[in-house]
Chain A
Amino acid sequence: MHEAAIAQSLIEIIQQEMAKAKATRLLSATVVHGRLTNLVPEALSFAFEAMTMDTPLAGATLHLRQVPLVVRCFGCGEEFTPEDDNLLLMPCPKCGEEFGHTVVTGKELYLETIEAE
Chain B
Amino acid sequence: MATEIPVVRNILEANDRIADQLRKLFAAHKVFVPNLISSPGAGKTTLLERTLTDLKGELRMAVIEGDVTTDNDARRVAATGAKAVQIETDGGCHLNGSMILEALASLDLSELDILFIENVGNLVCPVEFDLGEDCKVGLLSVTEGDDKPEKYPQLFTVGKAMVLNKVDLLPYVDFDVERATRGARALNPGLEVFSVSCRNGDGLGAWYDWLRAAVAAKKA
Q: Is the interface of A mostly helix, strand, loop or mixed?
A: mixed
Say whether B14 faces chain A, with CB atoms less than 8 Å apart: yes
How far apart are B154's CB and chain A's nearest CB, in angstroms?
6
Contact of B154 with A36 in the complex, beta carbons under 8 Å: yes
Say whether A112 faces chain B, with CB atoms less than 8 Å apart: yes
In the bound complex, residues from chain B placing their C-beta under 8 Å from that of A110 are 8-11
Our pick among A10, A12, A21, A88 for the contact of B183 (Cβ within 8 Å) is A88
Residues A2 and B183 in contact in the complex (CB < 8 Å), given A17-B5, A21-B5, A110-B9:
no
In the bound complex, residues from chain A placing their C-beta under 8 Å from that of B94 are 2, 5
Q: Return the CB mask of B125-150 against A: 1 if under 8 Å, else 0.
A: 10011000000000000000001011
Contact of B189 with A74 in the complex, beta carbons under 8 Å: yes
Question: In the complex, what distance in Å separates the CA atom of A1 from the CA atom of B155?
Answer: 12
Say whether B82 faces chain A, with CB atoms less than 8 Å apart: no
Contact of B11 with A9 in the complex, beta carbons under 8 Å: yes
Q: Is the interface of B mostly helix, strand, loop or mixed?
A: mixed
Our pick among A1, A13, A27, A117 for the contact of B9 (Cβ within 8 Å) is A13
Residues A114 and B7 in contact in the complex (CB < 8 Å), given A1-B124, A38-B154, A87-B187:
yes
Q: By the criterion of a CB under 8 Å from any partner CB, how many residues of chain B are at the interface?
A: 34
* B-contacting residues, A1-52, CB 8 Å: 1-2, 5-6, 9-10, 12-13, 17, 21, 23, 27, 31, 36-38
Q: In the complex, which residue of chain A has the Cβ closest to the Cβ of B185? A: A99
Say whether A111 faces chain B, with CB atoms less than 8 Å apart: yes
Say whether B157 faces chain A, with CB atoms less than 8 Å apart: yes
Contact of A112 with B12 in the complex, beta carbons under 8 Å: no
Question: In the complex, what distance in Å separates the CA atom of A37 from the CA atom of B7?
Answer: 20
Say whether B1 faces chain A, with CB atoms less than 8 Å apart: yes
Q: Return the CB mask of B75-97 against A: 1 if under 8 Å, else 0.
A: 00000000000000000011010
In the bound complex, residues from chain B placing their C-beta under 8 Å from that of A17 are 5, 7, 9
Contact of A27 with B124 in the complex, beta carbons under 8 Å: no
Question: In the complex, what distance in Å separates the CA atom of A23 from the CA atom of B1?
Answer: 10
Question: In the complex, what distance in Å separates the CA atom of A28 from the CA atom of B189?
Answer: 41
Question: In the complex, what distance in Å separates the CA atom of A21 from the CA atom of B6?
Answer: 11
* A-contacting residues, B160-209, CB 8 Å: 182-183, 185-187, 189
**19 examples of A-B residue contacts, CB within 8 angstroms:** A1-B124, A5-B94, A13-B11, A17-B9, A27-B2, A36-B153, A38-B154, A74-B189, A90-B187, A99-B189, A100-B185, A101-B187, A103-B157, A110-B9, A110-B11, A112-B7, A115-B2, A115-B3, A117-B3
Chain A positions within 8 Å of B, measured between CB atoms, are 1-2, 5-6, 9-10, 12-13, 17, 21, 23, 27, 31, 36-38, 71, 74, 86-90, 98-101, 103, 109-117
Closest 6 CB pairs of A and B: A88-B150, A100-B189, A2-B125, A117-B2, A87-B153, A88-B183
